Amino acid sequence: MEPLSTTEASALRRVLESQPTTLAKIAFAWRMTAGAAFDRATRIAWTGDGTLYVHPEGEAWRREVGAARGALLRRLQDLLGADVIARISISDTE
């Protein structure tokens, strides 16, 4: 018997695999992996070369995203594949 969280992630991964890779798909995966607070405090951009650019609102959020970068990358890769998101680049705040 699998834990519900494992089954849920597996089902979501299968659904996402069948969709074209667009910014909307990447943004959905970001919301699912980063959570509501990170999603509200950041803007994202994605390039076909596998880089996800994260633009946080302020220095405090930049530090938070930086601290979570490794875990966020692993979760995104679990959902989308390592070929879709190879790295996360966090912008400096203005």
- pLDDT tens for the chain, 94 residues: list them: 555 556 666 777 777 777 888 999 999 999 999 999 999 999 999 998 999 999 999 999 999 999 999 999 999 999 998 889 999 999 875 5
| Global confidence as pTM | 0.83
Total number of domains constituting the chain: 1
Which amino acid makes up residue 6? T
Domain range for 30: 4-90
**CA 41 – CA 17 distance, rounded (Å):** 27
**CA 55 – CA 70 distance, rounded (Å):** 16
**CA 84 – CA 20 distance, rounded (Å):** 11
**CA 87 – CA 1 distance, rounded (Å):** 33
The helix-helix angle for 4-17 and 59-80 (nearest 10°) equals 80
61: Cβ contacts below 8 Å, ≥ 6 apart: 38, 41, 42, 93
